[in-house]
Structure formats: C-alpha cells, structure tokens
Amino acid sequence: MTKVQISGTGLYTPKEILTNDELVESYNNFVDEFNLENKDKIDKGEIDELQKSNTEFIEKASGVKSRYVQNKSGILDTKFMRPRLRERSESELSNLAEMGVAAAKQAIKNANISTDKIDAVIVACSNLERPYPAIAIEIQNALNINGFAFDMNVACSSATFGIQTIFDMIKSGSIRSALMVNPEICSGHLNFKDRDCHFIFGDVATAVIIEEFDEKSNGPNTYEILGTKLYTEFSNNIRNNYGFLNSSSPEGVDQPDKLFHQNGRQVFKEVVPKVASLIKDHLETNNIKVIDIKAMYLHQANENMNRLISKYILGEEATRDFAPIVLDEYANTSSAGSIIAFHKHNQSLKENDLAIICSFGAGYSIGNVIVRKIS
C-alpha cells in the first residue's frame, strides 16, 4: 500500500511587526474621533458610544501580543484602517502569489526536491485575492512546475483539508507529489474598527511538500502521514459575507458583515469539545493511545481555546513544548497557524515519535492529521 510523507515545510514572515500597543493607540484615537463626530447622535441615544481597547484586554482574551502584517501604516491610519497595498498589474505576481512563492521555495529546499518532480500545486487559504486565474496556477507558473493546480477554501481549516486532498490523490496513484501553499493576508478581512476583534489576525504564508513515501530519498526532517480526518458542521458564528455578488445589493456594500465577524463566546463553547472529541476519536480509530502522542500542533486562534482542548484530551493542561503557541508572535493566521507551529517546533521530535496537526474554524470545520517522524 502506498505511504505518504511530509518532506518539507516553508514559512514566509512579513517584515512589518504590529504590536498590541500600536494597535490599541490607533484604535483608541479612532474611538475618540468617532465619539466626537457623533456626539449628538450618542447623546440622543441613536447610536452607542464606542468603548476603548487596551493591551491587557487583548492578551487576556486571546494571548496575542503582536502580529506580522504586509502593511501597518494603512492599518494605523484612523481614516483608512486597513492594509494599504499597491494594486498589481496583470503582468506582476499577485500579493498572495508573491508570499506563497517565498514560502514554497523554502519548503522545496527543505524537502530536497526539484520542481520537475512536483505534480500539483494547491493553494489552500481563507481568502483568495481573485476568483481566477487560480493563485495556485500563478504560483505553479512562477516556479515552473508541470501538472495541475487549483485553489481551495475551508477557512482556518484549509491546510489540513489540503493535506488530506493531496494524501488521497497520492494514495489513489493519480499523483506522486504536490506542493500545498497557505498564503494569508488576514489583515485584509479584519474590521479594525471593531473592539472585539481588531487585534485577532496577522499575515503570513506557509508551504508543505507532500509526496509518496520513499525511504531512500528521505530528508533530515520527514514525517509519514498515518491518517487524516475531516469534519464540517454549518454555523453562523464565524462569518465573512464579502463576495462577487455584493455589488448587486448596493445597500450592503462596505457594511461590517463584509469583513470577519464572530460570536466569540459561542465559538469557544461549541468548538472546543468538538475538536477534542474528533482528535480522540481519530486516535482511537488508528489504535493510537493519547499517551503515545508527543506533540500537538494546534490551530493558533486563541491560547485559552488551545489550553482547554489540550486539557480535554490529556486530562491536564499541556506544556508549551507539547502544544506550542506561536499566536503570541504571529496572532491568528487562519489556515497557516498549525503549519507555523509544526514548522517552527517539530525539530524536538525524535524518530518514530507521533504527533498531530489540527485546525479548526469557520464552517464549523475541523481537520486532523496524524504524523510519525521518519527521520
């Protein structure tokens, strides 16, 4: 039976760092300006007075301390409050493709694979810069990769769903290897005027090389994929209603629902037990005991969620070595979060150690991947 391995990973980190203090100062300036401009309406009770944010609130609610962004000057500008990105001509690489190519080149190098050996490219992320041509095909072209490419979106779970898609293709014999890329400019879908979520996201790109198991060509950091498990369940608690039909309903254009919004408390309450249950069921199906797992690379949305998920699974709170946290530095990077944690912290695993890569988010969607370190 064909075995499948992760041969290498890559990470692109933007150069600009946006701290909580910077973000809070900008948001609070916006609040002062808004409340002053709308004083009459506030006094009449027609609209609510906006409340200020603070760094302590952000860190307690999420664990986020900073994030990397493609552009912070536009985000901090109280008259703009979103990343200011230059529009690319059709002859240039798009924003997502440029990030994706950088991460992909690192993954290809780490996997010690040549591009002529890659059969497919999948871009799996939460937001796509355009409908077509696919960002994946753009990256495929930039890297001179043959075969085929396509984009897919399962929000924060896109990477694990992408891994299973490639896993199944290799198992079926239709391909022997593939590149998966997760470019995320999450700052572009974030409402920086919303106190409850203005701090959540950051920008990044990750990449993973997945190929048919070959014991003779294994690199120094290779992992066999032992199994994958996916789950979805419809929920309105995390939404983004931006789409190509928005202009057909002019009354909704530029409304807050066209950006990320969520019922955070309900998400926490509902998603944590679902994730823990799926992981435990997946391990049991594969005859793996929880005590045999040496690391969990969880989605990086909220540190408190990850602590509770770990506690549900282990019976106690996990150490940071066992369940690494990168969201304090990167914030929530949607599909890329669990891959960042895996990329930066898997070096501690020893040969034959078992670990999981798990993502969860809008949909609801949950994806889990069990891996065994080969070398």
For a pLDDT cut of 70, what percent of the chain falls above it? 99
197 assigned to active site = no
Whether the bond into 231 is cis, omega within 30 of 0: no
Q: Please report where in the chains the tokens 């309450």 appear, as a residue.
A: 269
pLDDT greater than 90 at residue 101: yes
Which pLDDT belongs to residue 127? 95
Residue 219 has pLDDT above 90, yes or no: no
Q: pTM value?
A: 0.96
Q: Given this model, what pLDDT does residue 214 score?
A: 82
Catalytic residue among 125, 156, 186, 358: 156
* Helices 337-345 and 158-172: angle between axes, nearest 10 degrees: 70
The pLDDT of residue 30:
98
**Domains present along the chain, CATH in parentheses:** 223-373 (3.40.47.10)
Q: What is the pLDDT of residues 151-208, one digit of tens each?
A: 999 999 999 999 999 999 999 999 999 999 999 999 999 999 999 999 999 999 999 9
141-153 pLDDT, tens digit per residue, is 999 999 999 999 9
User: 19 has which bridge partners?
Assistant: 66
Checking if the pLDDT of 250 tops 90, the result is yes
pLDDT given at position 9: 98
Res 215 pLDDT > 90: no
pLDDT of residue 238: 97
Q: Strand runs (DSSP E) across the chain, as ranges?
A: 4-12, 16-19, 66-69, 120-124, 148-152, 177-185, 203-212, 223-232, 238-239, 261-262, 293-298, 354-361, 365-373
Q: Quick check: 220 pLDDT over 90?
A: no
Mean pLDDT along residues 282-288? 98
Rounded average pLDDT over 271-283? 98
| Average pLDDT score over residue span 332-338 | 98
pLDDT at 218 over 90: no
- How many H-runs (helices) and E-runs (strands) does the chain carry? 11, 13
Span 23-51, pLDDT tens digits: 999 999 999 999 999 999 999 999 999 99
Mean pLDDT rounded to a whole number for the chain: 96
Per-residue pLDDT, 375: 84
Angstrom distance (rounded) from CA 104 to CA 336: 13
Comparing 18 with 221, the larger pLDDT belongs to 18
The answer to whether the CB of 107 falls within 8 A of the CB of 8 is: yes
